[in-house]
């Protein structure tokens, strides 16, 4: 399986997003960044006014062009692996099979290190000043609240999560759904990091363990394996085995029709573009097999793509990020 998947991946044609035409491309090193307005000094003949504070950016209305109005969006996130460690690796035959069968973002990057600020960036459009893996409580607009405000629903499935709006740093390793037993880590659960969710029982009730997974339960479903199955403390093979056992719960369900699965990582092991080049696979029922998007994307691009699909306002750096254009 590993050899066949690697051969298929190597043989597939590259294409620029939206073209559908095979090309040959080397991933670019460019990375888009958002810029805040700069303050200006105003002057009169007798006085100089104080600097005008830079305005707080407000979300920008988003057109849906190029991205479908998905019925469901599933986001599965793994940990701490570079693109080159997974794609082409004999330890990850299922990842490589998926890359050959569906779509691959061949030039996708994380923002920073360590884990937590990347989860926050992915769901709020910025790191919100978080620079470590501490037990933070973030007061910021976020994707989960956006989804609710739009009349849609969300659910976070966190493997080994003990339930009851648990807000501790971690919990004991337990068996919870596919894969190996492992601990839940709060820093890998972005929903509970936001005060608008952790401080409201009806919102944090949308976080549950993986054994309760239902592909049709919500419009947006955020899935984090435990720290063994997400490759943080486990091996690449552990993560690959988990995904092979879990993913069919989505792709074989009726809810998968007109839906998308994004599989990505929080960060790599290098500092390229801040957080390393990470594997990112895009799965839809009608994806062109072996499609390779060679445009440069990052977590902000993924956030923008979800917001654009559902006509949500763009949060933070998602406003200037490139949407992930695939033959959905």
* Residue pLDDT, tens place only, 70-105: 999 999 999 999 999 999 999 999 999 999 999 999
CA separation for the pair 135, 157 (Å, rounded): 19
Arithmetic mean of pLDDT, 137-163: 98
CA separation for the pair 36, 19 (Å, rounded): 32
In 128-255, which ranges are E strands?
154-158, 207-208, 220-224
Could you tell me if 109 and 274 are in contact, meaning their C-beta atoms sit under 8 angstroms apart?
yes
Q: Is 150 helix (H, G, I), strand (E, B) or coil?
A: coil
Could you tell me if 326 and 99 are in contact, meaning their C-beta atoms sit under 8 angstroms apart?
no
State the Cα torsion 287-290-291-292 to the nearest 10°.
140
Q: Three-class SS string for 55-79?
A: CCCCCECCCCCCCCCCCCEEEEEEC
- What pLDDT, on a 0 to 100 scale, did the predictor assign at position 19? 37
Domain spanning 71-205+213-319: CATH 3.40.720.10: yes
Q: Where are the domains of the chain?
A: 71-205+213-319
**Average pLDDT of the residues of the chain:** 86
Pairing of strands 73-78, 220-224: parallel
- What pLDDT, on a 0 to 100 scale, did the predictor assign at position 65? 62
| pLDDT tops 60 at residue 194 | yes
CB atoms within 10 A of CB 19: 11
The distance in angstroms from the start CA to the end CA of the chain is 26
Residue listed under structure tokens 């790191």: 127
CA separation for the pair 100, 119 (Å, rounded): 27
CB atoms within 10 A of CB 160: 26
CB atoms within 10 A of CB 257: 11
Arithmetic mean of pLDDT, 181-198: 98
Note the helical H segments in 138-297. 143-149, 190-193, 195-198, 201-204, 236-246, 248-251
- What pLDDT, on a 0 to 100 scale, did the predictor assign at position 252? 98
Pairing of strands 103-105, 291-293: parallel
Count of alpha carbons within 13 Å of 112, Cβ hemisphere only? Answer: 18
- CA-nearest of 247, 190, 314, 239 to 89 is 239
What pTM did the predictor assign?
A: 0.81
Residues 4-28 pLDDT 10s = 333 333 333 333 333 333 333 333 3
Long-range CB pairs of 11-15 (<8 Å, 24+ gap) are: 11/290, 12/100, 12/289, 12/290, 12/291, 12/292, 13/290, 13/292, 14/106, 14/292, 14/294, 15/288, 15/291, 15/292, 15/293, 15/294
Residue listed under structure tokens 């884990």: 115
Arithmetic mean of pLDDT, 227-234: 98
Residues 235-247 pLDDT 10s = 999 999 999 999 9
- What pLDDT, on a 0 to 100 scale, did the predictor assign at position 13? 38
For residue 233, give both structure tokens.
């403390």
- From the centroid of its chain, how far is CA 52? 35
- What pLDDT, on a 0 to 100 scale, did the predictor assign at position 287? 96
Q: Which pLDDT band, with edges at 50, 70 and 90, does 66 fall under?
A: confident
């Amino acid at each position: 399986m590993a050899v066949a998947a690697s051969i298929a991946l190597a043989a597939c044609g590259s294409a620029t997003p939206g073209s559908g035409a095979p090309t040959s491309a080397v991933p670019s090193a460019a990375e888009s960044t958002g810029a805040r307005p700069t303050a200006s000094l105003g002057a009169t003949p007798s006085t100089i006014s104080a600097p005008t504070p830079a305005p707080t950016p407000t979300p920008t209305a988003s057109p849906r062009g190029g991205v479908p109005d998905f019925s469901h969006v599933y986001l599965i996130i793994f940990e701490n692996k570079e693109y080159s460690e997974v794609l082409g690796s004999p330890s990850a035959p299922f990842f490589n099979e998926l890359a050959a069968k569906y779509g691959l973002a061949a030039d996708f990057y994380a923002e920073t290190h360590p884990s937590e600020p990347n989860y926050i960036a992915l769901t709020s459009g910025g790191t919100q000043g978080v620079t470590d893996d501490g037990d933070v409580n973030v007061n910021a607009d976020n994707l989960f609240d956006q989804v609710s405000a739009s009349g849609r629903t969300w659910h976070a499935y966190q493997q080994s999560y003990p339930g009851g709006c648990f807000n501790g740093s971690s919990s004991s390793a337990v068996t919870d759904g596919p894969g190996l037993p492992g601990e839940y880590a709060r820093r890998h659960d972005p929903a509970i990091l936001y005060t608008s969710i952790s401080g409201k029982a009806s919102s944090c009730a949308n976080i549950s363990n993986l054994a309760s997974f239902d592909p049709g339960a919500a419009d947006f479903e955020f899935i984090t394996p435990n720290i063994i199955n997400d490759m943080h403390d486990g091996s690449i093979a552990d993560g690959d085995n988990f995904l092979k056992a879990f993913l069919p719960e989505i792709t074989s369900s009726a809810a998968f029709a007109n839906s998308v699965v994004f599989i990505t990582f929080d960060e790599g092991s290098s500092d390229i573009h801040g957080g390393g080049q990470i594997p990112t696979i895009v799965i839809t029922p009608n994806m062109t097999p072996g499609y390779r998007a060679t445009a440069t994307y990052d977590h902000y691009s993924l956030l923008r793509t979800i917001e654009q699909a559902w006509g949500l306002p763009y949060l933070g750096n998602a406003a200037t990020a490139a949407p992930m254009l695939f033959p959905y």
